[in-house]
Structure 1
Amino acid sequence: MTAVHAAVRAQGVVKRFGATVALDGVHLSVQPGESHALVGRNGAGKSTLVGVLTGLHKPDAGTVTFDGEPAPAFGDVPAWRSKVACVYQRSMVVPDLTVAENLFLNRFEDGDGGRWIRWPRLRERARDLLAEYGVEVDPAARAKDLSVEQRQFVEIARALSFGARLIILDEPTAQLDAAGITRLFTKLRGLQEQGVGFLFISHHLQEVYELCRTVTVYRDARHILTAPVAGLPKEDLVEAMTGEAAAGPTSWHAVAGSARAREGAATGDGPLLAVEGLALEGEFDPIDLAVRPGEVVGLAGATASGNTALGETLAGLRKPTAGRIAVRGRDVRPGSVPHALDAGIGYVPEDRHRQGLVPNRSVAENATLTVTDQLGPYGTVLPSRIREFAQSMIRSLDIKTHGPGQPVSGLSGGNQQKVVIARALAREPAALVAIRPTAGVDVKSKDSLLGVVRQVADEGRAAVIVSDELDDLRVCDRVLALFHGRVIATFDSGWTDRELVAAMEGIEGAQE
């Protein structure tokens, strides 16, 4: 009797990046025809393991086998392609090429016996390949004209054409609507019947229960649990992810927030930031939100929850399809960053390198980008005013720098982020909107940055933190959890990790 080997088996895998242990002796096994979920909070080690399983990272210890055979040599790309492929949430197809060209990119001449591309033959081969896996897509169509799910099917078909029998799906439903998710899952089940194994990585635990047979949980770079999905209560899965046991019945509204926020509510102060029926088609459903003086409100959600799109809409980067935004009772022109600034909304973007900083400019220049109209008479900008203004921001935010003239690129990540916050606060906004404000900084810097946001509220202003990082959200007086574009739970301060994670992951029962 022929032994059946795992499609992939990882044992005792260790991976370090400098002093950081990204994987600490983890293991994983996916069987042929199995859909196996890998879940865990940010920093659990999921992405690093994907890198190891696809040949992008060389493990420092441990073994990886495919169908019982050792993994290919590090750097042997064709050999890795014949074993495994990863379909990421951001499509890797070339948008301006046709489906046929994407399927056979860099191997157009395979089987044609020559160096010239025979286009009719290429399209015929593409049609046969798509039909083999039941993918109904026109080989002559441009990839950019396909739907998200069609692009995913093309990527899966391309991977299988190399001989891979293991497909890693990294947040595959992030950009799909409910109907698209249903069609994707139907297709995946059909491929499982052909013996294809899937490693399914998702923040949406409800989908894990719908699709997968087995689930593995990583936490803090370690293996915590592997169990059949069918017999695993959802609360036990969340406990494995967070390390927190359920403490009696879930309470969605816990203790009150800061003294300033309580005082504002008691005196009947109107909201500084008010949102009514705000919606963005394809991103989030109509949402109402009121943030009072002294209050920090969190918008929590995983990938494709709509929280980032909501934060960007508040800041004017996206134009809503419905609803209104008001600051101090004054309507903000939708989809206008300058009008949002003038109305009193400060903004800290998610990616400080691409959206927040001009790297070759000084700390002073970066910190004063939004107030150049205040730094000299008659539209001029006086260098002395820039230095003076920047120096005051350096002192108030405790930015570690050699001085206002130092290039911002020479600062640490935490201090760079403080410069971004300084720029957002330069116009003394009524409301600060910060998207993942502590991304990519160390623990000490996180505490300092969140302290700045808390201080903004304690001075009588309003703040909104958009994040999926639990530490970012602990500073909030109130947290709204979004899932697939809807607010499904609201927490006052005092929530537990288990409660908030369950809501962010779309666990049934997490209702307002």
Structure 2
Amino acid sequence: MTKTAEPARRQETSLLLEARHFRKVYYPTVAVNDITLSLHRGDILALVGANGAGKSTLIKTLSGVVGCDTGELIFDGSPVNLREYHPAAARNLGIRVVHQELSLCKNLTVYENFYVEQSQSIKNAFGWRKLAQELAQAALDRVFPGHGIDVAAGLDSLSIAQQQMVEIARATSDKKMKLMILDEPTSSLPMERTEQLQDYLCKTAGEGMTYIYISHRLKEIMTIANCVYIMQNGNEKWKGAIHETSEEHMVKLMGEGIGSGGCSAELSAFEAPEVNRSISVVCDHYTSKKLKDLSFESFGGQILGLTGLEGNGQLDLLRDIFLKAQSKRNGLKVTGKVAFVAGDRKKEGIFPLWSIADNQVITKAAGSGMFRHLSREWLEESVRYWYEKLHIKSDGTQELITCLSGGNQQKVLIARALAADADIILLDDPTRGVDQPTKNALYEVFREAAADGKLVIWRTSDDAELEFCTRLLVLSGGHIVGSFEGAGVDHETIMGLSFQNEVEARGPAEEKKRRTAPLYTFALIAMAAIYAVCAFQSPMLLSGYGLQLMVVGFAALMLCALGQTFIIGLGHIDLGIGNYCGLINVLCCTLLFSSPALGALALLVTLALYPLMGYVVYKRKVPAIIVTLGMSFLWTGAALSLQAMPGGTCPEWIRAVFYSETPLVNTLCYWLAGLMAAAILFYRSRYGTVLRGFGNNEHAMINSGWSKAKAFMAVYALAGVLALMAGVITSAINNASDSSASGTYTMLAVASVIIGGGYFSGGVVTHFGAVCGAVILTMISVLLGLWSVSTDYTALIQGLVLILILSLRLLKRRGKKA
């Protein structure tokens, strides 16, 4: 069993950190009010408080994520200039943070997530991927022996618990670290991983490492901490050595002054109500991708707990019940209206742009019928009832939900399910990141729901919560290996059952890695199919000359698509890239032809405006769609001012460089192949990996010390270079200019990226797929011409192909989840 860090160590070690009179105000809320604390080397300080007490804000000020209004910070004997304090500066000092909301990029692999956080430890330009893999593997092995995580796997393929393990291990890999701040680090970890982390913390604290440990699991705090600091409403409530307090003492201190409802340390006795058979979940030899031959019955009036080692089917069972609630196939029958409280509130729970009230009533509103009128009075009454009952701490129900602490956001999600009057309430670790007084209130709410005849099915990562369930199912390897009435079973029995089939119980972390098709699979298949049809209609397309004609047709669109891929990979969209291509075409055939020096200068000025757009998006926080739309008018206006009608002449040297015959193929083919290869290689390079990270989780990248301004400007600069090349090549091919001819490339480039497997959000794009998409859209025009179909139908057919490919992708994703 993990041993408590020695309190006496504090007096034998030197002072590491001293924060004096820290204050942070988010008008009108005083989040941190005159906080002073100190840490000695080797301390494990437990930072405790109810949701909204100011803990997360305090650690953000200590780590430079948010600025402190007033205060002084002395670290390792030297004063810190708080005016110039930011995450990168904190990292340089040796301060690292494991945030409650995971700061990982799900579009990257495990080792790439290590790299973006520890880039300073990997200097090699070549072979950096191997070094990053070794770094990730060593860190995970050191903290979580036997973890079974494939460091080359995509992060999004891991469970929440495994992602939390990656987050923690990544922070420990910093060799310069002196202080680690952990915000609810075990909120998603199963028991065995929690114990491994506790052992690691106590061992390294004995070697001089210092920790600030935030947790609502008071037993953990009593186990590993040597000192405690309790906050309430942004103020210091109590501080002292661990041996001077107890779980009951801390709960009492946290509950004082914040209302008595649901905040008592003791819960009233609970007698299981009579079974309500009109509400039920029945599995009869039910089998799915992760679940195997499940058979059980559960009815209203019960609180069914799902337990076992993490990743052995508990969450999959919850999801199947929710997604197949109306289905009676495959041995799963659900009777009653179902509501689901997701465990990953940031990704699957909250609507970040909505208020607390709107987030709370959306499920009820959605289930009330499309045309049914919902009175404002009813909505306000429902919101207010659960808002007060769950003690949601905010300045009102119309506040944005993102203004709440993580625990209060969780309360809103639970209120959403309860307000929906669901018969079956599915809870995925509902008390993760919630303080003890609020947990007690939620336990009472779940009991009340069962007493009202509802069925509550509860997956929890905190084994202590199993005592609140009236029935337990133990899952291992997707099988039910134990079923118990009441909570009388002891934890040793549960763990024994969980490990009885260790091979199957390993879960997704240790499954053999499955090969998944690339994002561009459907685009590549569609491209081959359309080209085959075109070649059947006109065999000449199989010749070298025919292939070159095809290349000429899609060259400019391909480059615009490559540029748009970088923009969409950042989560933005460029509505002016086609117009910019048209302006470059005009500049090449007018100014560059008549006055080469002036033309070259004009090209450089227009190219410099592209990264400037990225800076405006960053600095002014204006949506990219607005900035690029505005710039599209500028590009078009400038082109028309130079040349109102098609014409002009391309300089001969441009045609010689970009569009001349060689013994093998036209030089254009070499340029396109080279530019495509360069785009792909850059996106997989060290800094390209950083840019992909920004596309998925820019806050995580900022917290890792990367510059958002530089990332935005770099992406737009790359897009600008490719669009400029598209305009130059257009000039070389046509030997003239027409500003309006490239206008359609903007939306066609967007369609190419999406057809090629990209998404508008999440940093998931593929440059090769975008090229395939550009070729597909071009060949559609060719095919319609071969069939003598009017060009008026070209856009229609291109749109239908886009819809078809997206539909196939959707079916593929659903098939994976089935």
Query: Separation in 2 of the partners of 1:479 and 1:27?
Result: 43
1:262-301 matches, cutoff 5 A? 270=276, 272-274=278-280, 291-292=300-301
Select 1:236's aligned residue among 235, 245, 249: 249
1:478 aligns with 2:448: yes
* Aligned residues of 1:305 and 1:484 also touching (Cα < 8 A): no
Q: 1:243 to 1:118 in 2, by over 3 A?
A: same
Give secondary structure in 2 for the equivalent of 1:230: helix
Q: Please state if 1:27 is matched with 2:18.
A: no
Corresponding position of 1:197: 210
Q: Is the 8 A contact 2:227 2:241 kept in 1?
A: yes
Larger Rg: 2
Give the whole-Å Cα distance in 2 for the aligned partners of 1:153 and 1:451. Answer: 33
Aligned residue for 2:34, secondary structure, equals strand
Q: Is the aligned partner of 1:88 residue 2:94?
A: no
Task: State which of 379, 394, 404 in structure 2 corresponds to 1:397.
Answer: 379
Between the aligned partners of 1:269 and 1:127, the Cα distance in structure 2 is 50
Residue 167 of structure 1: how far off its partner (Å): 0.4
Distance 1:333 1:65, change over 3 A: farther
Change (3 A) 1:125 1:366: closer
1:386-419 Cα offsets, whole Å, 9 max, x none, are: 44x1x2455643599xxxxxxxxxxx994799xx
**Post-superposition shift, 1:272?**
4.8
SS of structure 2 residue aligned to 1:7: strand
In the other structure, the counterpart of 1:316 is 321
**Matched AA of 1:29:** S
Q: Distance in 2 between matches of 1:69 and 1:358?
A: 39
CA distance in 2, matches of 1:225, 1:353: 35
Paired residue type of 2:268: H
CA distance in 2, matches of 1:27, 1:48: 14
Q: Which of 35, 50, 57 is residue 66 of structure 2 equivalent to? A: 57
Alignment of 1:99-178 (within 5 A): 99=111, 102-103=114-115, 107=119, 116-119=125-128, 122=131, 126=135, 141-142=151-152, 144=154, 151-152=166-167, 154-158=169-173, 160-161=174-175, 163-178=176-191
1:94/1:143 contact within 8 Å kept: no
Shift of 1:184: 1.8
Structure 2 counterpart of 1:207: 220
Q: Is the 2:275–2:299 contact (alpha carbons within 8 Å) kept by the matching residues of 1?
A: no
CA, structure 1 residues 181+334, in 2 after alignment: closer, same or farther (shift >3 Å)?
farther
Where do residues 220-259 of structure 1 align in structure 2 (5 Å cutoff)? Answer: 220-243=233-256, 252-253=267-268
| Corresponding residue for residue 8 of structure 2 | none
Question: Cα–Cα, structure 1 residues 335 and 237, in superposed 2: closer, same or farther, change >3 Å?
Answer: farther
The alignment partner of 1:57 has SS state of: coil
Task: Tell me, in whole angstroms, the C-alpha distance in 1 between the residues paired with 2:41 and 2:141.
Answer: 18
Contact 1:15 1:22 in 2 (8 A): yes
Distance, in Å, in 1 between the alignment partners of 2:86 and 2:365 is 49
- From the superposition, tell whether residues 179 and 34 of structure 1 become closer, same or farther in structure 2 (CA, over 3 Å): same
Q: Relative to structure 1, is the Cα distance of residues 277 and 55 closer, same or farther in structure 2, using a 3 angstrom cutoff?
A: farther
In the TM superposition, 1:338-353 aligns within 5 A as: 343-347=335-339, 349=341
8 Å CA contact 1:215–1:226 kept in 2: the answer is yes
- 2:720 equivalent in structure 1: none
| TM-score normalized with structure 1 length | 0.57
Deviations along 1:292-318, whole A, 9 cap, x unmatched?
5xxxx9999xxx999xx8899288347
Task: Name the % identity.
Answer: 18
Q: Distance in 2 between matches of 1:225 and 1:335?
A: 55
Report the alpha carbon displacement of residue 7 of structure 1 after superposing the two structures with TM: 2.2
Give the whole-Å Cα distance in 1 for the aligned partners of 2:144 and 2:442: 42
Identify unmatched segments of 5+ residues in structure 2. Answer: 1-11, 383-394, 401-408, 451-457, 470-490, 492-818
Q: Which residue of 2 aligns with 1:420?
A: none
Q: Distance in 2 between matches of 1:277 and 1:397?
A: 36
Checking the alignment, whether the CA contact within 8 Å between 1:315 and 1:345 is kept in structure 2 is no
Q: Tell me the equivalent position of 1:46.
A: 55
SS in 2 for 1:8: strand
Shift of 1:49: 0.8
Equivalence for 1:79 = 89
The question of 1:6 aligning with 2:12 is answered no
> Counterpart of 1:87 in structure 2: which amino acid?
V
Q: Check 1:97–1:335 CA distance in 2 against 1; reply closer, same or farther (3 A cut).
A: farther
SS of residue paired to 2:321: coil
Q: 1:224, CA displacement in angstroms?
A: 0.9
**Structure 2 residue identity aligned to 1:86:** V
Whole-angstrom CA distance in 1 between matches of 2:254 and 2:310: 19
- Native 8 Å contact 1:436 1:472 kept in 2: no
Higher helix proportion, which one? 2
Shift, 1:133, TM fit = 7.7
1:11–1:133 CA distance, 2 compared to 1 (3 A): farther
Paired residues of 1:22 and 1:221 also in contact (CA < 8 A): yes
SS at match of 1:218: strand
1:20-62 CA distance string (max 9 Å, x none): 1111222222211111111111111111111111101112222
SS at match of 2:236: strand
> Counterparts of 2:282 and 2:231 in 1: how far apart (Å)?
39
The answer as to whether partners of 1:450 and 1:472 remain within 8 angstroms in 2 is: no
CA distance in 2, matches of 1:393, 1:312: 36
Taking a change above 3 Å as real, the CA distance of residues 243 and 117 of structure 1, as seen in their structure-2 partners, is same
**Matched residues in 1 for 2:378 and 2:366: separation?**
18
Give the C-alpha shift of residue 175 in structure 1. 3.0
Distance change in 2, residues 1:37/1:345 (3 Å): same
CA contact (8 A) 2:183 2:213 kept: yes
- Would the aligned equivalents of 1:348 and 1:356 in 2 still touch at CA under 8 Å? no
Contact 1:291–1:463 (Cα < 8 Å) also in 2: no
SS of corresponding position for 1:49: helix
CA contact (8 A) 1:348 1:437 kept: no
Name the CA shift for 1:33/1:312 in 2 (closer, same or farther; >3 Å): same
Contact 1:316 1:335 (8 Å CA) reproduced: no
* SS of residue in 2 equivalent to 1:203: coil
Q: Is the 8 A contact 2:25 2:69 kept in 1?
A: yes
